[in-house]
Amino acid sequence: MILSALLTSVGINLGLCFLFFTLYSILRKQPGNAEVYAPRLVAEGKSQQSSNFNLERLLPSAGWVTRAWRPSEAELLSTSGLDAVVFMRIFIFSARVFTFAVIVGVFILLPINYMGKQLSLDISDLPNKSLEAFTISNVDDGSNRLWIHFSAVYLFTAVVCYLLYFEYDYISSKRVSCFYSSKPHPHQFTILVRSIPASSGRSYSGTVESFFSEYYPTTYLSHWVVRRASKLQGLIKNSDKLYRRLMYLKSANHDRQRFKRDGFMGLFGPRVDLLDHYGKKLEDIEDNVRAEQSSTLGKEVGAAFVSFRTRFAAAAAIHMQQGVNPTQWVSEPAPDPEDVYWPFFSASFLKRWISNLVVVVACILLTLLFLIPVLVVQGLTHLEQLEIWFPFLKGLLRITFVSQVITGYLPSLVLQLFLYLVPHIMIILSSVQGYIAMSRIEKSACIKVLWFTIWNIFFANVLSGSALYRVEVFLEPKKIPAVLAVAVPGQATFFIAYVVTTGWTSTSSELCRLTTLVFNFVKRNICRKFDYEFEVPSLPYYSEIPRILLFGLLGIIYFFLAPLILPFLLVYYCLGYLIYRNQLLNVYEPKYETGGKLWPIVHDSMIFSLILMHVIAIGIFGLKKLPLASSLIVPLPILTLVFNSYCRRRFLPMFKSYSVESLIKKDRQEQNDPALANFHDTLATAYQDPALLHVGYSGNTASINAPLLSTAEVDARM
C-alpha cells in the first residue's frame, strides 16, 4: 500500500466518523429515539425531552462530549458499577501506553526507518512512497541504528510493565474498597453446592439440611435445592407471549382485528372474539403453570444454594473440601440471584466434566477452522486476483479511487462482518460448559473470543497459508521467531488500515447504534408493535474487550516494526474513551457485577503481547544481521514472565476471593445492624428459580416480585 492509499482510507473513515457524530447529535434529540440513545434515563424516568418541535433539534451539537467527559470515576462507579470502571481503565491504560509509544515511535524510530536505504525505494514523491519505507524493513542490515530499536524495545517493555503494575494495584484496591462499601448481597452469604450424594429414602433437601446443620451448626442458615424447571420455563414463556398479545388487543381497540375465523390460518370456521379466545387460552396455560409449579417442586436436582449467617463462614465453606470424596459436595461461590443462569443446571460431576472437555475441543476446532472466510478476505486485498475472479469488474477496478477503496477499506469491513457472529457462538459454547452464572459465562466467553481474535485476525493475516501450515509453525518452536520476523512486518500496512476502518468507524458507529435504531424504527412505524418489552441493554464485555485488546496487541507488536500505526491507535483509544463513557452513562445498565474480575484477562493479554513482541524482535534482529542484539533480547521475555508471575501472586488472589481480614471487618461492621436479621430472612428464598415465582396474569396483577413459597412451606408440602 502506498501513502496516498492510506491517506484516502484515513480520509474516508474520518468522514464516516464525523458523519456518525453529526447523526448521533441530531438523532439523540428526537423524542422517539430516547429508548435507543438513552434507555437508562428513560428507565429511570430522567429523560425530559419535550416533544415540541424546535430548530435546535435539527442542528448538530457537541454537548454530549462534555457531558460524557465531566462525571468523575466515583460517579461512574456509583451508576455503572466496578465492571464499567475497569472497562474504562482499559482505555486509560492503553492511552497512557500509546502516548509513550507515539513519543518514542514517531519522533525517534520513524525518522530512522525512513532514512534507511535497505528497500531502495527511490520514488521521491511522498504520496506514492510505499508505506514500507516507514517500517524497520527499510533500515540497512547490520546498521548500528538498530540498537536504537533494541533500546526502545527494552524501554517500552519497562514502561508497559510499570503501568500494568500500577493499574493492577489500583483496580485491586478499588475492588476491596467497593466490597467494604457494598450493601449485603445474597451471593456474599451463599455458596452453591453441587454433586450432592443421593441417599435412599431421603430428598436432596433433607440430605443438605442434615449435612450442613451437622458440620456448620452455628453458622448454617438455610438452603434452597435447585429444581428441574425447563418445562415450566417453556410454559411461562408461552403465557407471557399470550398475555402481551391480549394486552395489545385490549389497549388498541382494533375492532377489525378483534374477530377472526377459528379454522385453518384464520380463513375458515366460525368467527370468534379473539379477546375471549386468547383469554380462555391464557387461563388454560396458567392452570398448567400452577400444576407444573407444584410438580417441579418435587423434581430436585443434586445442587443447592446454601446460605450462612456470615460472609466469613460462607467463604470458609467455599475454600474447603466438604465431603471425603472430592467429587461430591463440590462447593463454589454462588452468583447473585439475578446473575444465576438457570436453564443449564447439570448436576453430575462427570457430565459437567465431559461437557467441559467437549466444549474445549469444539472451541479449539472452531478457532482453527474458522479461517476459510478470512482467506477470502485476504484474497480481496490483491487486486489482480479480484480481476481474475470477476473479469467484468476489470474496468471498474482500474479507476484509482475504486482500487484504493478496495485495497484500503473493503477487506477489513468484510472481516468485521464475519467476526460479528463469533462472540454469540462463544457465549453458547460457554453456557454449555456448565457455568451457573451469566457473568462467569461471559468471562469465559471473553477469554475464548480473545484467543479466537488473536489467532484469526492477527496470526491468520500474518501467516497467510493453509490452517495446517499455521499450526505447523507452532509445532516447531525454534523456527517461530524467524517465521514471524519475516511475516509480521509485511502485514503492517494491512493492520494500519484495519485500525482506521474497524477501530475508528466501528467505535463511532457504536455511538449511533444503527442496528438498534433501524430495528426500533421498523417495529414502531412498520410493524406497529407496541407490545414488546422495553429493556435496558447491558454492555457485552465479552465481545468488546477482546476487540480493544487486539488493538493493544497490534500496537505493542508494531511499536518498533512500523511506528506509523501508533498515532492512529492513540486516536482510537481517545475516541473509544469518550464514546464508551457516553454509552455507559446513557445506554447500558449493568445486569450483574463481577467486581472487576475481567482485569486479569486484560493483564494477561498485555503480557502475551509483550512476549510476542520480544519473540518477533529476536527474529528481526537475527534477520537484520545483528545477532548480538538478537541474543540480548532473550532475557527480556524471561524478565517479563518473572514480572507476570510476581503480579499473579501479588494481585490475582485478590480477584478470586476476599481475605479473612476484609470478610470479618465487613461482618463486624453489620453485626449489630437490625437490617441484617431481615436480610437473613430474605436469604431463604433469594435463590428461587424465577419460574417458580411466576404468579400469573389471570388476576391482571403481575406482582412478580413476591415470593410464592418459602422453603419451610416447600419442605412441608413434600
Site of interaction with its own copies (CB under 8 A):
176, 214-215, 315-317, 319-327, 349, 353, 357, 472, 475-478, 642, 646, 649-654, 657-662, 664
What does the block give as the cell for 337? 440471584
Q: What is the residue whose three cell numbers read 400452577?
A: 290
Residue 178 CB, nearest approach to its own copies (Å): 13
- Rounded CA gap, 145 and 141, in Å? 10
SS3 59: coil
Place of cell 477503496: 405
Q: How far is the CB of 312 from its own copies (least distance, A)?
A: 9
- Please, where are the H alpha helices in 502-598? 506-512, 514-521, 541-558, 565-586
Q: Closest approach of Cβ 654 to its own copies, in Å?
A: 6
C-alpha cell at 632: 540480548
> Which helix H or strand E contains 273, and what residues bound it?
strand 271-273
Helix intervals (H) in 182-229? 186-189, 204-215
Q: Please state the closest distance from residue 380 (CB atom) to its own copies, in A.
A: 33
- What string of H, E and C letters represents the secondary structure of 575-603? HHHHHHHHHHHHCCCCCCCCCCCCHHHHH
Q: Tell me the Ramachandran region of residue 298: left when phi exceeds 0, alpha when psi lies from -120 to 50, beta otherwise.
A: alpha
Please, which residue, 628 or 660, has the CB nearer to its own copies?
660
- Residue 127 or 653 with smaller CB distance to its own copies: 653
All three cell numbers of 313: 463462614
Least distance between its own copies and beta carbon 472 (Å) = 8
Distance of CA 204 to the CA centre of its chain: 36
- Alpha-carbon span 663 to 42, nearest angstrom: 37
Smallest separation (angstroms) from its own copies to the CB of 615? 14
Q: How far is the CB of 176 from its own copies (least distance, A)?
A: 6
Q: How far is the CB of 479 from its own copies (least distance, A)?
A: 9
Please state the closest distance from residue 656 (CB atom) to its own copies, in A: 8
What one-letter code names the amino acid at 170?
A: Y
Nearest approach, Cβ of residue 172 and its own copies (Å) = 9
* Residue among 311 and 448 whose Cβ is closer to its own copies: 311
Least Cβ distance, residue 633 to its own copies (angstroms): 18
Which residue's CB is nearer to its own copies, number 191 or number 426? 191
Please return the burial class of 447, using the count of CB atoms within 10 Å of its CB with bins 0-12, 13-18 and 19+: buried
Which residues 6+ apart lie within 8 Å of 284 measured at CB?
none
Show the cell assigned to 663.
470478610
Residue 202 phi, psi dihedral angles, 5° rounding: -150, 140
76, containing H or E segment: helix 73-104
Location of C-alpha cell 491507535:
569
Q: Smallest Cα–Cα separation from 103: which of 59, 57, 155?
A: 155
DSSP string, 85-134: HHHHHHHHHHHHHHHHHHHHIIIIIHHHHHH--TT-----SGGGSBGGGG
Closest distance to its own copies from the beta carbon of 315 (Å): 6
Nearer to its own copies, 168 or 495 (CB): 168
Measured from the CB atom, the residue of 147 and 349 that comes closer to its own copies is 349
Q: Given the complex with its own copies, which of 324 and 527 has the nearer CB atom? A: 324
Distances (CA, A) of 47 to 21, 40, 584, 590: 21, 9, 15, 19
Minimum distance of its own copies from residue 360's CB (angstroms): 11
Nearer to its own copies, 22 or 219 (CB): 219
Our measurement of the distance from residue 556's CA atom to the centroid of its chain's CA atoms, rounded to an integer in Å, reads 22
Q: How far is CA 524 from CA 154, 521, 527, in A?
A: 57, 5, 6
Q: Which is nearer to its own copies, 242 or 636 (CB)?
A: 636
Nearer to its own copies, 212 or 409 (CB): 212
Cβ distance to its own copies smaller for residue 387 or 472: 472
Q: Which is nearer to its own copies, 529 or 668 (CB)?
A: 668
Do the beta carbons of residue 305 and residue 226 sit within 8 Å? yes
Cβ proximity to its own copies: between 134 and 189 the closer is 189
